[in-house]
Amino acid sequence: MTDIEQLVRDTLNDYATAAPEFTAMRPEHGRRWRLIAPLAGIAVAAALVGAFAWFDTRPPVISDLPADGPDISEMTGIDLANALGLKPHFDGTTHGCDATGHGDIAYCLDSVSDDPLQRRIIALQIQGYARNDALVQYAQLDVKIAETLHDLGYRKGTDAIEPYQKQQDELKPDLVYVPDDIRGLTGEAVGNELGLAPMKTSEQPGCWAFAEYVNGSGFCYEDLTGHDKFASLILGAQINGHAPTAAEADYLAAYLEWNYRNHSSLAHDPDREAELWGQIVDLRSQLTSHTGDALPMPGPDVNPLNDDTITALEHQGIHVSLLDPLDTKPEISVSEALAAMNDDARDAEPAEMSLARVTVDDYLNHANERIIDNRLAWIGLYPDTEVFLSGPIQGSEDRPSTYTADMIVVVDATTGDFLRAETIS
């Protein structure tokens, strides 16, 4: 262990003693009570957290929603925050206030209104949702949840808010998400519209998708484009000042919206996401002159998944329907898929590999829906792979151990994204 590693270890152990005692995280101890993030969805809950703060400690504010000025009822996102004159907090954090956010940027809402409901409505609009009846009702339920948890505390409140949460679930389909519109923008304006935090190029923290808008400053957008290389390239170029073509802009818009909805509690919409994915696939084929390097079949030493493997996968809730690559012509070639697999398979070669439609039963998103559902994917089998068990907390449990198992690796055959690695018995 190097000196710096030892210093880091000592520092962490030292500062661990300064962590809050869990028993102190109770409302009866008089601290602000911020617990509902996962209950109402992270994005929604955040402002509720602020509502607690308001109930408990917030000094009264004298201003309310302005009667004059621009009509904010139809605005969303950064535009609304700017119209309200809110100061952006680029590190995504605010200090002791009722807050909301867009992308990396947080805004303190205390100055906006002294009415918790109004603040909730504004918070949702800034997050990107159009003000409609469903949004207002959703915000009202947020306030009720906040009041209930505040009055009853954690244990009793958890049960008491369930009816409100169910009502919110019923309202979610009627919430209208308005994606950021970056068409026609280039350079810094792109990042501003998307809610990206500007940072110095020299200080960008290990970001794999970073683009400069002027020499020395740029945006990290890795969470917006994920591992999609086309979306990443297009957005990066746009931030660099290069306007995308119409097809590129369409592709980027579709991917950004799909990615947001796919990760969002409120905007998640399977039908819309399926529609967007169809657009993404179509546009990708326009943007690429692929297939020249797309080997139609795995190499001669690699067999297709055999019946025993398929049966073992079925027992584990992984359903595969094999396809002929010659007919399907996947976007991602065998060699590209192997490259993606080998990162997680320690450079071994698969014994079996096939193109397939893949569904994984137990791999679910926050909405309990399958993440891999009838996905066109390459699936490889790596026998006798050394697998590590989950590790211990320092000094309190057994040392880590390994076991040997057959492992399957799934790579999206359209995007090349690594999807899943799992052992099979």
Footprint (CB under 8 A) of another protein, residues 40-79: 42-43, 45-47, 49-50, 53
* One character per residue 109-148, x = contact with another protein (rule: CB under 8 A): --------------x---x---------------------
Structure tokens of 106?
A: 């947080």
34 binds another protein (CB under 8 A): yes
Residue 332 CB, shortest distance to another protein, in Å, is: 17
What would you report as the CA-atom Rg of the chain, rounded to the nearest whole angstrom?
Answer: 25
Strand partners, 355: 323, 378
Helix spans in 172-215 (H) = 188-194
Q: Given the complex with another protein, which of 310 and 338 has the nearer CB atom?
A: 338
- Give every CB contact of residue 77 below 8 A, 6+ residues apart in sequence: 102, 125, 126, 127, 128, 178, 180, 193, 195
Q: Given the complex with another protein, which of 28 and 388 has the nearer CB atom?
A: 388
Q: Given the complex with another protein, which of 289 and 390 has the nearer CB atom?
A: 390
Q: Given the complex with another protein, which of 53 and 253 has the nearer CB atom?
A: 53
Residue listed under structure tokens 């002027």: 214
Given 64, 170, 181, 343, the residue binding another protein (CB under 8 A): 343
Strand order in the sheet with 318-323: 318-323, 352-360, 375-388, 402-412, 418-424
Measured between its terminal Cα atoms, the distance across the chain in Å is 37
- Give every CB contact of residue 386 below 8 A, 6+ residues apart in sequence: 402, 403, 404
State residue 214 phi and psi, 5-degree precision.
-135, 165
93 binds another protein (CB under 8 A): yes
Q: Given the complex with another protein, which of 247 and 348 has the nearer CB atom?
A: 348
Q: Which of residues 187-226 bind another protein (CB under 8 A)?
A: 203, 205-207, 223
| Separation of CA 83 from chain center | 27
Q: Which span (2-10, 78-86, 139-147, 312-320) binds another protein, by CB under 8 A? A: 2-10
- Assign residue 374 a region (left: φ > 0; alpha: ψ between -120 and 50; beta: otherwise): left
Q: Which of residues 378-397 bind another protein (CB under 8 A)?
A: 388-394, 396-397
Q: Given the complex with another protein, which of 154 and 297 has the nearer CB atom?
A: 154
Residue 196 CB, shortest distance to another protein, in Å, is: 10
Structural contact between residues 230 and 249, judged by C-beta atoms closer than 8 angstroms: no
Q: Given the complex with another protein, which of 62 and 393 has the nearer CB atom?
A: 393
9 binds another protein (CB under 8 A): yes
163 binds another protein (CB under 8 A): no
Residue 310 CB, shortest distance to another protein, in Å, is: 25
